[in-house]
Structure 1
Amino acid sequence: MDDKIQAHLAKEKENPPIRIVSYQYQGQTVYYETAPCCDQFTTLYDEKGNVLCAPDGGITGRGDGKCRDFEKNRTAEKLVWQDPR
């Protein structure tokens, strides 16, 4: 996640600010990265930084459909990072 944070800091600040939140999901720690704005997919990563799915966002607001149960089954929310600028 450090590389992703540094990449965000190298760009202009988004509105709303990008956040990375960790959760427990399907027995593992995952990282949820918000999207900068309207109709864009959010991203869910595994512990190694591999993309698992887009849980929400997009035109329908329902993501890519690959982890439809994420919102219902996620636990242990913890803010990892939010763009401080």
Structure 2
Amino acid sequence: METKIRQHYKAEKANPPIHIYSYQYNGATVYYETTPCCDQFTNLYNAEGKLICHPDGGLTGRGDGKCPEFADNRTEEKLVWQDPR
């Protein structure tokens, strides 16, 4: 996630600011990255930083359909980072 955070600092500030949360999901630590706004997919990464799916967002607001149960099954939310700019 450190690489993702560095990329966000290099990019223009998003509105609303990007947040990264950690969760427990299906027995593993995952990282959920928000998007600035409107019709963009959010991102869910495994502990190694590999993209798992887009749990929500997009035109339908339901993501890419690869992890539709994420919102119901995630636990132990922790804010890892939010853009302070």
Q: TM-score range by the shorter chain?
A: over 0.9
In the other structure, the counterpart of 2:46 is: 46
Q: TM-score, normalised by structure 2?
A: 0.99
Q: CA deviation at 1:14?
A: 0.2
Residue 36 (structure 2) aligns with: 36
Structure 2: gaps of 5 or more residues? none
- Alignment match, 2:57: 57
The 4+ residue runs of structure 1 with deviation greater than 2 A are: none
For residues 14-51 of structure 1, what are the alpha-carbon distances to aligned partners after superposition, in whole Å with 9 as ceiling and x for unaligned?
00000000000000000000011100000000000000
How far, CA to CA, are the matches of 1:33 and 1:11 in structure 2? 15
CA distance in 2, matches of 1:72, 1:39: 21
Q: Give the Cα separation in 1 of the matches to 2:77 and 2:84.
A: 19
List runs of 5+ in structure 1 lacking aligned partners. Answer: none
Partners in 2 of 1:54 and 1:79 — Cα distance?
Answer: 18
TM-score (norm 1): 0.99
- Overall identity of the aligned pairs, in %: 68
